[in-house]
Structure 1
Amino acid sequence: MTKQILQIENTNNEDFKNEILLGLEHLLSQYEKNTQNSEKLLTREETAKLLSISLVTLWKYTKNDIIPAFRIGTKVRYKQSDVYNALQKMNEFD
């Protein structure tokens, strides 16, 4: 195993620390943006458990377009945000 040496000149400890912190801040903000775009998909079981309903009731909600579902091959998945939005709509008073 070869040992690598990093030599830094013309900077003090505080400036070096601040540069590292700025780099980390940038990486974390990029990570946050990327994870916000990728939304969690829930299984039928996870969705029913989240709503405290049976799989039959979930099927009825899906059939009646109350909660949109996505088919991936033979699997049915629900976007977490769609589930929360449907729940919010169901609880609105006219």
Structure 2
Amino acid sequence: MKQSILIQQASLSDIEAVVRKVLDDILDDLKLQKSEDSIRLLTRTEAAKMLRISLPTLADWTRQGMIPAQRIGRRVLYAISDIENTLEGKKGGRKNG
């Protein structure tokens, strides 16, 4: 069953304030979700699959500094945000410098 709300005496500025607050809350939730996703780390295999490259190419790119890696013990891991940044660079084409 649908609930209805009847607004009788609300000024336009009151309604704008409520809508603005709701939108701010939604944007804050989206920012938090995005920051949590970007912190997630991928294994070498997952990163290579996401970039659609081979493991040796991923190792080369890491050595060249094209994509930063994080070492935790013996494991080499990649942040999703770094993978996404690399993908954006691939879309625009790599520039030879």
Q: Which has the larger radius of gyration?
A: 1
Total equivalences in the alignment: 79
Q: Write the deviation string for residues 36-80 of structure 1: whole angstroms up to 9, x where unpaired.
A: 222132221111112222212211211121211112233222122
Q: Which residue of 2 aligns with 1:3?
A: none
Gaps of 5+ in 1: 1-11
2:28 to 18, 27, 30: 30
Gaps of 5+ in 2: 8-14
Normalised TM-score (structure 2): 0.57
C-alpha RMSD of matched pairs (Å): 3.1
Identity %: 35
Whether 1:14 and 2:6 are equivalent positions in the alignment is yes
Deviant stretches of 4+, over 4 Å: 21-27
* Local SS of the residue matching 2:53: coil
Amino acid at match of 2:84: Y
Q: Which residue of 1 aligns with 2:81?
A: 81
Question: CA 1:57–1:93 in structure 2 vs 1: closer, same or farther (change >3 Å)?
Answer: closer
Question: CA 1:69–1:32 in structure 2 vs 1: closer, same or farther (change >3 Å)?
Answer: same
Moved more, 32-41 or 83-92: 83-92
* Local SS of the residue matching 1:76: strand
Normalised TM-score (structure 1): 0.58
